[in-house]
Amino acid sequence: MRLTMIGAGYVGLVSGACFADFGHVVTCVDTDENRIRALEKGDIPIYEPGLDHIVATNVAEGRLFFTTDLDRAVAEADAVFIAVGTPSRRGDGHADLSYVDAASREIAKALRGFTVIVTKSTVPVGTGDKIEAAVRAERPDADFVVVSNPEFMREGAAIEDFKRPNRIVVGTTDSRGRDVMSEIYRPLYLNQAPLLFTDRRSAELIKYASNAFLATKITFINEMADLCEKLGADVQDIARGMGLDNRIGPKFLHAGPGFGGSCFPKDTLALIRTAEEAGAGLRIVTMVNEINEARKTSMAQRVIDALGGSVEQKTVAILGLTFKPNTDDMREAPSLALIPPLQKAGAQIRAFDPQGMDQAAPLLPNVMLTHDPYECAAGADVLVLVTEWESFRALDLERIKVAMNPDPVLVDLRNIYPPAEVQAHGFAYQSIGRPLLDRGESVP
């Protein structure tokens, strides 16, 4: 089938490349001429493992194209996917649908023949109705169906999630729309991916409800971690014990500095605003959002406390700047809430991230960005592990210790290292939700 993806950002580019890999002919459209020119030359504007190979392969085989010409791409398409950004709107936290609205109007003008318009962007409930009304107002003669098809891709594992999904949600009650969407996803039938058809509004809400629930799991285990610190229990044991219950499951039960990224913060807030407008209180999700924001800002105090209550004229080394590993995405990253308060308290900051340095630089002024973890640790009083990149899981702790100032401190916000191993190398060590150890105490 011929598919057009409006928006060549993260969702649009990954989805378009994967659809092309299924054998469809895909055109990705974007208004950013520089981005399109870069993609045509093979320069991928985002970091996602494996994406460069899939893009290059499908461009070479004539299944994937990039253009700024929306009219032609839409006119030739069997299905047009809207994959533009829906950031939080300034001032009220609602999803900003201005890009969706603009795309809808442009699509309407270019429609030729029966076309399925698919909302891939994360949008509030009822957006599909608004898109349908806008297109109908612009083109009363057009033959089209609006379908909701939310994405469930994890940054850093997006290609695997797209090709081996645990579900595909399609919101439509129109038989023609259902047939087209079934054909688009037919290549996944061999993987036995469940194709769940619902009405459009339910599909839109499934995305928000899923993200809110996962955010709730993260926040719950973070609160359990705080309780563990008070009671002398180990949150990792708590998480394992809970996760073995198949009604709960082990995923998203990893204590840390709070969730960030492009989805959970904005989607929980947008869901709260939607519920407020509908007159339905979402008290759990509201508290999750408030607790998470407070948690991210509280991490700086943990570092200050680890250095005896002051970081004045101290050097703090930060390992990991992106909100999670295997991405260069800095949106709502915990590092952005951690570093400025430390600077305000008088600390000098050094930092390293395997992929996020270019994106972090304009967001973190007066931070010395280094080339590797060991250069980052040089002359530091405390080393803070913020993002759990695999390359940080087996650091040469002796080399780190030698590089740092005397009496080094390691604050592990991701519980990467066993406490006893770190202390055996002469560090004062603090982690999240695990018992503090006295010097010489042996705990695995």
Q: What is the pLDDT of residues 353-375, one digit of tens each?
A: 999 999 999 999 999 999 999 99
Catalytic: 228? no
Helix, strand or coil, per DSSP, at residue 352: strand
pLDDT for position 93? 82
pLDDT for position 90? 80
Output the CA–CA distances (angstroms, integers) from residue 177 to 80, 112, 183, 265, in the order listed. Answer: 12, 16, 10, 32
Domains belonging to the chain, first-starting first, are 2-198 (3.40.50.720), 297-430 (3.40.50.720)
pLDDT for position 438? 47
Please enumerate in sequence order all residues whose Cβ is within 8 A of that of 143, keeping only pairs 6 or more positions apart, or say none.
111, 113, 114, 115
Low-confidence ranges of the chain (pLDDT < 50): 438-444
Neighbours of 12 (CB within 10 A): 25
> 385 pairs with which residues across the strands?
319, 412
pLDDT for position 443? 41
pLDDT for position 194? 87
pTM equals: 0.91
pLDDT for position 437? 54
User: Two tokens at 380?
Assistant: 């530091």
Q: Which of 18, 28, 263, 376 is catalytic?
A: 263
Output the CA–CA distances (angstroms, integers) from residue 394 to 16, 223, 275, 432, in the order listed. Answer: 36, 28, 45, 19
